[in-house]
Structure formats: structure tokens, C-alpha cells
Amino acid sequence: MTYYDEIAASYEQLHGEEQLSKAKIILANLKIKPSDSLLDVGCGTASYLKIFHCEKTGIDPSAELLKQAKIPVVQGMAENLPFADNSFDIVISLTAIHHADAKKAVAEIYRVAKKDIVISVLKKAKNFKEVEKALSKLNITKRIEESHDVIFFIQKL
């Protein structure tokens, strides 16, 4: 059992408000149409996705967190996304990528995205520099420093 499976019952209390605040930053800085499809990599319970008015899908390795989701979800890992190339108009990942192999996860997120990617990275993550390096090879259009995270907005070329 993973850490997130163990804390699933209190996940919203621990992380819900913080994740929602980052989702609001994304919403304020990204044009999202109702016809867009959005994938959230490392979605947890996906509760904050309610503010996005488009087609939503989530993926997370924690079965216990996914049980709480109210959108279509898939259990899986960021390093091996079970979706075809260019499957989603927008791919986001909020404070999750530091748990993955950064280089593989960024490559997979880029592969399944059609146009926009938003990734928030925990500033205190041990592998922050590694994640930042992987992201720096992409077309970063905006970088927002948030209290706990840095949020990278990337446009797929």
C-alpha cells in the first residue's frame, strides 16, 4: 500500500484547498473551452477539477484516492500513460511530477498533449532541479511562483 492509499481518507483535508488554489491559477491563465479535453496526471481525488468546464480524465497510481473521484479516472503511472499520442487538448499535473521519473513523465505528458501543458512542481522537492531541467527543453510560455510550487505553462509546438 502506498502513502497516498494510506492517507486517502484525509487527503482532501490535507491537500484539497492547496490543490484547488493551484487549479484556480491555471484557470485564470489558460483559455479552456468546453470542447477541450483535459488530462490530470497525478489527479489524486480530482475534486478540484470541478472548476474546469470541459471533458476531464484523471490518472493516478493510488486506487484509494481514485475511489473518491467524480470524473472518469484510470489507475496508472505518469511514466507510462495509457493514452494515444495527442489524446488531450490540455494536460495538467499539480504537485505530483516530483514523485515520478521526471524525464520519462515529462516525455509522456508531452506525447499525449495536443496543445497546452501545465505542471506545478513542489519547490522543496529533492528533484526540483531535475524536473525543471526536463521542462526547460519545452516551450515554457509562463512561470508562476506560488507559495509552495512553481507552475510552468507550456505550449506544445
What pLDDT digit, counting tens, does each position of 5-34 carry? 676 677 667 666 788 889 999 999 999 999
In angstroms, rounded to a whole number, what is the distance separating the alpha carbons of residues 26 and 23? Answer: 5
Mean residue pLDDT of the chain comes to 92
Burial class (CB in 10 A: 0-12, 13-18, 19+), 4: buried
**Predicted local confidence at residue 141, as pLDDT:** 97
Alpha-carbon torsion, ordered 110, 111, 114, 115, to 10 deg: 20
Q: List domains and CATH numbers for the chain.
A: 3-155 (3.40.50.150)
Q: pLDDT digits over 41-82, tens only?
A: 999 999 999 999 999 999 999 998 899 999 999 999 999 999
Contact call for residues 56 and 65 (beta carbons, < 8 A): no
Residue 138 C-alpha from the chain's centroid: 16
The pTM of the full predicted model, rounded to 2 decimals, is 0.92
